[in-house]
Amino acid sequence: MYPVLDLRTRLKIAWHLREHGFSVRMHSFEYLVGDGKRFVAIILVDPSGRAEVIKLSPEAQLVAELVRTAAPKAEVRIVE
């Protein structure tokens, strides 16, 4: 069985976030997501299909939605 969040899908998440105007720093299974002025979220992913979006600003809701769009099989939750 292949991981839900393989490298291709993780790169797709980063690309999708950048396409929507976010700056993204991806390091293996972590993403630092900013809007150019501040960090808006930290995303922690697990290859089995879980992604946690740590909310640092209200834009984190949009970040979570974009992760769901880029990786529809992933279980995405927001951590406040």
Q: What is the pLDDT of residues 39-55, one digit of tens each?
A: 999 999 998 899 999 99
pLDDT of residue 20: 98
Mean confidence (pLDDT) of the chain: 95
Q: Partners of 26 in the beta sheet?
A: 31
pLDDT of residue 1: 54
Taking the CA atoms of residue 36, residue 29, residue 12 and residue 41 in that order, the dihedral angle to the nearest 10 degrees is: -30
Residues in the chain predicted with pLDDT less than 70, given as ranges, are 1-2
Q: Is the dihedral of CA 8, 10, 14, 19 positive or negative?
A: positive
pTM: 0.93
pLDDT of residue 33: 99
